[in-house]
Chain A
């Protein structure tokens, strides 16, 4: 504000008027599209530099380092007495890269990844609305469905990246901090690296699929609200509510269909002889909810009046 009075009398806009004359003669020629409107690349560029993206991934990358640091601190303070079950889990985490990354996934899959999925997918549309840039995208013109698709693809891709990054970074940090030992299970079911890595990949793929319903709910809320917080917070709230309902035995056959019901089934993939039933059920139900809410989002956004 302070330093742009801009009165160098070269007359603003003169340059534009100079280039405009010749083109007007050729006016009426068709618009030359190089790419589809709001290509994935351009949407990625819109989201990538954002502070929320940087913070989200920063937190994700910091988590293993914080774990390593706190374990080291705990050792120094020297109270390594017979602890509770949870402290035994953390003892286990320090027995090698594989265990460390698994504990990391265990800790993060409950809330952190859910939150990130809700953030990446729920915030994409309402943040544009809150910056008033949504209407400019739409008149650029970007078709409503196209806009949603680009936003969703980038949101889902970011979620996928976070899901992949977490165990990979955990393996690296764990390996450097605690050595490259393969998985040792408290129940004596040890997996070699050759068995563990594909299983871990499968478990992460499953976790990713179970994140999709929350992502889709956040996305749908995002098309209904102009406030990013409403979309992200709403989706997390829904996930918490469903978790509470999931505790009720009275809902027994029905709760299987809840998005979060099979959220821990990924642990099955790491058993010596895995049972795929729960993972299959969980993945299918997750896809049902994800597709359902995504459809609702498209339906809503296609018809809504953009007043932001």
Chain B
């Protein structure tokens, strides 16, 4: 369990999950440092005089005196079958002795089926052996402190040993028999109603032969013989000379007498008196009254070989002799694995600990038992789920506890059925071992063969009931043959479907006078049944059952006068595995992981909150709407989009951010808005540092890389949705005024998905202006606008800035920027190459622009230009347009104008402005050409100087 837990934990924390780790870790935890000592113990000889040695393993204890446990294996197994239990017991402080029983594994001899003279005597020899060991605690000389534990074959051995040897101090016996004759020839017709839960006092007629189980039993020993040592192999090697040898081969390692009787029974389907006597003698039944060692009995509902009635008989004998006992009904058995196997093992160990190791008084049966006197499970709601456990303080019907019963009347009380000639086809109800394979057949059709079965239905159950034990009913049987066999099974009827409650049958064999009605009481299969209110049961009586040997003689049987069912009921205290054991591992793991994650989340939240408080504010910049200092951004692919960018926008300015594609304008804008994080540098808006989601961004309106709207909302709804996301008061938004900027007309109430690009763009600008922010950042605002709209936008931005607010516009339309902006920042390849007032940038002393009138003669102009070029101090004369001449000279402007006039140019206007485009192109080319940034741009003035030089070239 803990291994699984730690592995699950590893999975949760995400460390390496390798399937190979599972078995390795398991082996490491289960491996015991103590390896058993293998010894060979001589025991009593076979009837034919052959000496026999048992193959024994002893798990010794290193120091001190310890109690000993004899650990017996099941039929067909060996001492190795019980290794894990031996390890468990050894860990609990026992010396453990496990051995391969006579006729099994490496032990010699033949199988006598727990013959008191052989197998039981062998176990007594082992007790003698234990008494001689130095590490074994003695009650008296030759009397070791000892317990015996085993299941099935080993379980019966334990009971029989305790019944014949007083030295045993505690017994744990699981899924075993009380009377082997009754187990193989079961008889459910009883002489009197039961007084205990699963009690069955059969009439004095042997039941039908449990053929399939007997054969399985027989074959398992045969297989053991094939692989085993001397016996069978030796006989075969000896040749086919004698009949005895052939018989030995057929019987494997069985004792020849038992083998012969079994084969005979299989052939006839009836029990010979010899066989009955032999089986009865090889059972705990004769010596059960003599057992004084406290005994824990586990028996399974899922057991069509040794049913609960066998355990009931054992327990009744223990109760009669006032020996302490406890009973546990499991849902497992020879047919299926128990869903509470671990708990059953734990309870067994606890029993041994209490009575053997801790020497609790066994004298008074009333002394506190280490476990509930009776534990049973009610079927789970779904297949594969563990049963719900309940406990009672006493086994119903024993030790003074009354057997509570309830009547369930039948709605059908009679019927007829045929026994088919030859016994074929046979009803298929309980297929042994099928449940263990996880196969559940919907068997009603193959169980209730037409004409060969009679269904007795009950009335619906009035009130929810739990049946614990064997229900019984009386009925009258009339047949035309003296030998009548019936098989009763219990089904549940719901709507149109009939389901088998448990794959068990109660076989009945009667000796009747043909034609004479014979009353009989039938004990139905003992189990726990849940009967919710409204349930109806069906008792199905069939004349054949495939797992039994069926008579070949045909018969016609009449059933009549069936009485109400007598149900043994119980209401135990629910244990509920998980609840009793506290919180199970998986819950613990999952909640642990959950708590861990929540703590992690809480921790992260606290750390972040604290860090956010420590963002540096710059009170000295409080009056400046936007300050960008030393911004650097390198994208994951290594591209440095923005490299040490510094600029600022003052109040009242319209700042144009210029640059060719890829200059880093948009990246800078995104960093300004906190959309992407910068690698270095800072952005301050009104003195407050900007990071993702900074509160001060509420004073900034932005349009970045095109507008973004919810397509299903109208223009107006979009603005409202956006404003509602800011959480500010609707009256601060000025929706109508902003929509007026967008000039959408009636389209404001149409969904945005129907808008043109220009309309979206205008709506985007309007959204940026919502709330009249102190800083308005517009990235390419003129995208998609037509010239009149651009023209309309121009004064809005200028006048917006004139109110003391600030507008930052990025654009590649130089003319637009020139006309709109007061200041310009030029970026190229991630760097700012120049910045300053537009007027200052375009203004220059050495450039003079001369305007000429329209329709001037071309020859006049070219002559004038040539003359001007020749004039003193004029470096360059360029004709931009037929009416516009640019003159670069290092002389005063007045002299240049005078020279122009002298040269015969009809000058009508003079200006000093260059176009921003020229500045821009010049700056860009100078930044690209001289291997970039030899000296960083530190001073606006010097830059302008450099510009001029560039222009001059």
Segment 483-541 of B: residues with Cβ below 8 Å from A? 492, 494-495, 497, 499, 532-535
**Closest residue to B677 on the A side, CB-wise?**
A305
CB-CB nearest in chain A for B666: A307
Contact with B along A112-147 (1 / 0, CB 8 A): 000000000000000000011111111111111111
Within the assembled complex, what's the spacing in Å between the Cα atoms of A295 and B711? 30
Chain B's nearest CB lies how many Å from the CB of A219?
Answer: 14
Contact (Cβ within 8 A) B767 A12: no
Q: Report if A136-B767 is in contact (Cβ < 8 Å); known contacts: A1-B756, A17-B800.
A: yes
Measured between C-beta atoms, what is the minimum distance from B758 to chain A in Å? 8
Stretch at the interface among B212-220, B717-725, B846-854: B717-725
Closest A residue by C-beta to B12? A257
Return A238 CB to nearest CB of chain B, in Å.
16
**Binary CB contact string for chain A from 183 to 199 against chain B (1 if under 8 A, 0 otherwise):** 01111111000000000
Closest CB in chain B relative to A153 CB, distance in Å? 14
Closest to A19 in B: B737
Q: Which of B12, B674, B745 contacts A4 (CB 8 A)?
A: B745
Nearest CB of chain A from residue B472's CB, rounded to whole Å: 23
Indicate if A23 sits at the interface (CB-CB under 8 A): yes
> Which A residues lie within 8 Å of B758 (CB)?
1
* Residues 184-225 of A at the B interface (beta carbon under 8 Å): 184-190
Is residue B8 contacting chain A, with contact meaning CB distance below 8 A?
A: yes
Q: Please name all residues of chain A whose beta carbon is closer than 8 Å to the beta carbon of B707 when the two chains form the complex.
A: 132
Say whether A188 contacts B727, CB under 8 Å. Answer: no
Contact status B708-A134, CB under 8 Å = yes
Is the CB of A268 closer than 8 A to any CB of chain B? yes
Give residues 799-848 of B contacting A (CB, 8 Å).
799-800, 803-805
A71 to B922, CA, bound (A): 80
Instruction: Given A136-B708, A275-B380, A306-B675, verify A254-B594 contact (CB < 8 Å).
Output: no
Chain A residues contacting B535 (CB-CB under 8 Å) are 188
Please give the number of chain A residues whose Cβ is less than 8 angstroms from any Cβ of chain B in the complex. 90
A20-B803, A27-B805, A303-B677 given; A13·B741 CB < 8 A: yes
* In contact, A45 and B721 (Cβ under 8 angstroms): yes
Asked if B494 and A188 make an inter-chain contact with CB atoms under 8 angstroms apart, the answer reads yes
For the complex, is B692 an interface residue (Cβ under 8 Å from A)?
A: yes
Question: Is there contact, CB below 8 Å, between A13 and B381?
Answer: no
Query: Which of A46-54, A57-65, A72-80, A173-181 lines the interface with chain B?
Result: A46-54
Which residue of A has the minimal Cβ distance to B698? A31
Chain A residues with CB under 8 Å of B381's CB are 189, 268, 271-275
**Set B499, B694, B700, B774: member contacting A27, Cβ < 8 A:** B774
CB pair B693 A143 closer than 8 Å = yes
Contacting pair B601 A39 (CB below 8 A):
no
Tell me if B621 counts as interface (CB < 8 A to partner A): no
Q: Is B4 an interface residue (CB 8 A)?
A: yes
Residues in chain B near residue A281, CB distance under 8 A: 586-587, 590
Contacts of A16 in B (CB 8 A): 734, 737-738, 740-741, 769, 772, 796, 800
B832 to A: closest C-beta gap in Å: 21
Within 8 Å CB of B492, what residues of A? 188
CA distance A80 to B385 in the complex (A): 34
Cα A302 to Cα B598 in complex, Å, equals: 18
Q: Is the CB of B11 within 8 A of A141?
A: no
Contact yes or no, A139 B597, CB < 8 A: no
CA distance A42 to B726 in the complex (A): 9
Interface membership of A86, Cβ < 8 A: no
A27 touches B7 (CB 8 A): no
- Nearest-neighbour CB distance to chain B for A264, whole angstroms, equals 10
Q: A142-B725, A284-B594 are in contact. List 16 more A-B contacts (CB 8 A).
A: A4-B745, A6-B745, A12-B741, A12-B742, A15-B740, A24-B805, A131-B708, A141-B694, A141-B695, A188-B492, A188-B495, A188-B534, A254-B17, A272-B532, A288-B12, A302-B692
* 28 pairs of residues in contact across A and B, judged by CB atoms under 8 Å: A4-B756, A6-B744, A13-B792, A16-B769, A20-B803, A21-B803, A31-B698, A34-B728, A131-B710, A133-B709, A133-B710, A134-B708, A136-B722, A138-B675, A138-B693, A139-B700, A142-B725, A254-B11, A256-B8, A256-B586, A257-B11, A257-B590, A275-B388, A284-B587, A295-B601, A295-B604, A305-B676, A306-B675
